Amino acid sequence: MDDVQVAVVGADPAGLLIALGLARAGIEVLVLDTGRDDIASANCAHDWSVLPGLDRLGILDDALRSGFADPRWCLFVLRTGERIDFDLGAALRGVTPFPFTLHLEHSRLCGILEHHLAREATASVERDVRVTGLVQDATGVDLGIGTADGARRVRVRWVVGADGTSSTVRRLLGLGFPGYTWPERSVVALVEADFAALGYASTTLQVDDRHGAVVQKVNDRRWRYTFAEPLTRHEEGSGVRIPRVLSAVLGEAPFRIVDWHAARMHERSAERYRLGRVLLAGDAAHVTNRMIGHSPTSAFFDAFRLIEALTAVLAERAPESVLDAYAEDRRRMFHQHVSPIGAARKHLVSQISDAERLETELESYRRTSVDTDELRDVLLLNSELEDRELVPPSAR
Ligand SMILES: Cc1cc2nc3c(=O)[nH]c(=O)nc-3n(C[C@H](O)[C@H](O)[C@H](O)COP(=O)(O)OP(=O)(O)OC[C@H]3O[C@@H](n4cnc5c(N)ncnc54)[C@H](O)[C@@H]3O)c2cc1C
C-alpha cells in the first residue's frame, strides 16, 4: 500500500493543471492515465479569461512561446460577406495584462504541463494504467488500478476524477450524468488553407444556418474548422462530407484536410461534484456543446478553484466544507451560465434561419463591436465563469 495525498485520474488539461497546482504547493500527487489519444484537430484556442490562471501556475510564458497571441476575433456572415470585428486589446485595456486569445494546440499545451510537472519532486505520472475500482472510508480511498502487469491498489487521501466525459470515477461513485444529447454531432477538421486571405480573423464565428462554423487559426499553415451535422447522417460519411462543406465555403481556394474527428455533443452535468473524498472536475463533471469551446474553458476554471480549495484543506488552513463550496459553485455555474451561454452562441452561429431574427442579433453585435464599454461587459461574462474565490488570500 502506498500513501499518497492526492490521486488525479486523467492526464489531459484539467487533470494536469490540477496536479501541477497541487505539486507546486508541495502536495504529493499521483496522476494516472490510460494513455491519451493525441488528436491533432483537438482544441487550439484558449480564451483570455483563463490566461491569468495559467500565468499563476507559471506556464503562460512557455505557452506564448509555443503558440501565438491574437486580440482579434470576428463574426463573418457567410451569405452577405459582412464581417463584424472585435478587438480585445482595446476593450480589456486595464482589465488584464493578457487581452488576447492564446492559440496553442492541445497536444502542445499538455506537453508544456507535463514538462513542468516532471520538475516537481512531489508529482509522479503513470501512463497506460486504468482506474477500475474505488472504495472510500473516513480517512482515505483505496483505488483499484489495472496495468499491463496485473491489478494493484493504492491508498490515497483524496481523489480527483478528471477523466473526461465517460468518467470511470463518476461511474464508480454511482453518480448519474443527467442532461441531453444534441441532435447533431460536432465535426472538426484540421485544414491547410489560406483562410486569412479570405478575410477570416484568427478566431471567426462563421454565421450561417447551413454552413455555420467556428474557424480558428492553429499556425501559419493550419486552421481548425468546426461545424455541426445532424445525427441522422451516418458518422462514417463525415469524412466524405468535409471536402464538400469546405468547397461550398472556400469556393476555388485550395485546401488539404490533415486530420478530422467527429463526436456527439452533450449538455450534461454530474448530480454532485463531491462525494466524500472524491471530487470531479472538467468534462468528468460537466460537458457542453463542442462548437463554442466552453467545456475546455470551464475545465480550466474548475482546475484553478480546486487547486485553491484542496491546497488549503490539505494544509489545514481551511475546513473541508470549502470542497463542498467548490462542488456547489462549479455545478451552479455550469447550469446557470456555462451551458446557456454556450447554447446561445451555438444558436447564433448555425441555427438562426429567420432573417429578421438574425438581423436583430447581428445589430446587437454591430453595436457591441464599436462600443468599447459594451464589448468589455460581454467579454467579462467569460471571466465571471471562474466565479468567486473559495479561500481568502490569507489562508492560501
Ligand atoms: C478526442 C477529443 C476531442 C475533443 N474535441 C473537442 C472539440 O472539438 N471542442 C471542444 O470544445 N471540446 C472538445 N473536447 C473536449 C475538450 O478537449 C475538453 O473539454 C478539455 O480537454 C478538458 O477535458 P478534461 O481534461 O476534463 O478531460 P479529457 O480531455 O476528456 O481527458 C480525460 C483523460 O482521462 C483519461 N482517462 C479516462 N478514463 C480513465 C481511467 N479509467 N483511468 C485513467 N485515466 C482515464 C483519458 O485518457 C484522458 O487523458 C474533446 C475531447 C476529446 C477527448
- Is 173 within a domain? yes
Tell me the average pLDDT across 10-33: 97
Ligand 1: residues within 6 Å at CB? Answer: 9-15, 32-34, 36, 39, 42-43, 130-131, 162-165, 168, 186, 188, 226, 261, 263, 282-284, 290, 293, 295-296, 299
Tell me the average pLDDT across 156-163: 98
Atom of ligand 1 nearest to the CA of 284: 26
Residue 278: CB partners within 8 Å, gap ≥ 6? 134, 136, 141, 158, 159, 160, 161, 169, 173
Residue nearest to atom 12 of ligand 1 (CA): 290
Residue 293 has a pLDDT of 80
Which grid coordinates belong to 205?
A: 464565428
CA 164 to centroid of ligand 1, rounded, Å: 5
- Is 166 within a domain? yes
* Tally of structural domains, the chain: 1
- Is 143 within a domain? yes
Q: What is the DSSP letter of 284?
A: G
Atom of ligand 1 nearest to the CA of 39: 1
pLDDT of 43 over the 70 cut:
yes
- Is 257 within a domain? no
Residue 319 has a pLDDT of 96
Cα–Cα distances in angstroms (integers) from residue 65 to residues 61, 62, 130, in the given order? 6, 5, 33
- Is 225 within a domain? no
Local confidence band at 41 (pLDDT 50, 70, 90 cut-offs): confident
- Is 296 within a domain? yes
- Is 359 within a domain? no
The residue segments making up the domain with residue 11 are 3-70+100-179+267-349
CA 32 to centroid of ligand 1, rounded, Å: 14
- Is 226 within a domain? no
Q: What is the CATH number of the domain that holds 282?
A: 3.50.50.60
